[in-house]
Structure 1
Amino acid sequence: MTKDIDTIISLEHFLPYQLYVTSNNLSGFFSDAYKDKFALSITQWRIMAVLREIPDSSADEVSLKTHIEKSILSRAISKLLQRNLIQRVFSQQDKRRSMLSLTSTGIDVYNDIVPLSVQYEKDILNCFSESEKNQFSTLLNTLYQHTEKLKNTP
């Protein structure tokens, strides 16, 4: 028996859908720029950004910071290693543990990307006033923190 529900969801006004589509749009624009100019995926760029911010990070630490699934992260790390954009150093105490960091080539590529990324962010946010940008950032951070709590609640 089908239960009749009075509520009809309009996807265009449904927050999870709006965030999903917006995220896809932003990722698509960014992905094209990274792929065309630097032959990098968004995942690879995010790994590089973390390693520039927090050098000598383990893959697990990068995964936690980026929210990238470990199998996807592992493939991206392999490609970055092959291109000599990052390096892996194994711990002397525990050979199973390794630390990742950007190579000098990786730092050069990172430094080439950052101005484009900053400009890209400015272009995206130019539809907001300064006050709205601050408010949007605060609201987005609040929503992020709340969803992290919900995700970790049984």
Structure 2
Amino acid sequence: MVTNRPRLDFSEYLPYLINRVGWLLVVDFGQNTLARHRLSIAMWRVLAVLANDGGQRQVDVAARTSIDVSTLSRVVTRLVKMGLVTRTRSATNNREVVVRLTPKGAAVLARVIPHAIALERRAIAGVPAEDLRVVRRSLRRMYQNLASSAGISERTAAPLLRRSAASAASSSRRR
């Protein structure tokens, strides 16, 4: 008896391919760089976002890093204890907490970022620039599709989508 079971070529299944690449990047970066600084991937994401965007409300850091608010609170507490960030009440709203990078945090990032860039370069070696633009644009679109279907707010998804639009505009100006 022949059954018509759904088939899936796992080696071509996009979520699997994305996960494989992501897993190798996380393992390499975590073990070879972040561990030396006693940082986790979540801590790295918080520091990187603060370095790029300056001091922010903790809820906005959660949105930009894709870390849920309760987990982020623990991550920020650890970073505060390490002296890498400060956490203060907002001057405009006492219920909001603002997180800022400290000079020590900036110094750690100055040592870590070159390794992050080198890892990305290793990962994309041999991939043509146009293909990379398509991959980045496609991944942002996939994120937007999934965020929308999952009911994730525009405010939460907005930082990634703004970068997508800025990248596309920059790319078209170079042509």
User: TM > 0.5 between the two?
Assistant: yes
Quote the residue 2:119 is aligned against.
Answer: 120
Q: Which moved more, 1:12-21 or 1:41-50?
A: 12-21
Are 2:9 and 1:10 equivalent residues in the alignment? yes
Equivalence map 1:88-99=2 (5 Å): 88-99=87-98
Matches for 1:58-69 after TM superposition, within 5 Å: 58-69=57-68
Q: Which amino acid aligns with 2:147?
A: E
CA deviation map 1:52-108 (0-9, x unaligned):
122221111001111112222111111100000000122344333221100010111
Instruction: Quote the offset at 1:36 in angstroms.
Output: 2.8
Contact 2:54 2:101 in 1 (8 A): yes
Counterpart-to-counterpart distance in 1, 2:34 and 2:63: 24
Partner of 2:42: 43
Partner in structure 1 of residue 145 of structure 2: 146
Distance, in Å, in 2 between the alignment partners of 1:75 and 1:86 is 13
Distance 2:83 2:28 in 1: 26
**Is the Cα contact below 8 Å between 1:85 and 1:103 reproduced in 2?**
yes
Q: In angstroms, what is the RMSD of aligned CA positions? A: 1.8
Percent identity over the alignment is 23
SS of equivalent residue, structure 1 residue 100: strand
Per the normalisation by structure 1, the TM-score is 0.87
**Runs of at least 5 residues in structure 2 that lack an aligned partner in the other structure:** 153-175
Q: Which amino acid aligns with 1:83?
A: M
| Structure 1 counterpart of 2:57, one-letter code | S
Corresponding pairs, count:
150
2:34–2:112 contact (8 Å) kept in structure 1: no
Structure 1 residues 37 and 146, CA gap change in structure 2 (3 angstroms):
same
Quick check: 1:104 aligned with 2:103? yes
Tell me, in whole angstroms, the C-alpha distance in 1 between the residues paired with 2:56 and 2:19: 29
Match of 1:54 in 2: 53
Task: Quickly say closer, same or farther: Cα 1:93–1:133, change in 2 above 3 A.
Answer: closer
Q: Greater CA deviation, 13-22 or 61-70? A: 13-22
Query: What residue in structure 2 maps to residue 84 of structure 1?
Result: 83
C-alpha distance in 2, partners of 1:14/1:69? Answer: 27
With over 3 angstroms needed to count, the CA separation of the structure-2 counterparts of 1:58 and 1:34, relative to structure 1, is farther
Measured after TM superposition, the shift of residue 37 of structure 1 is 2.1
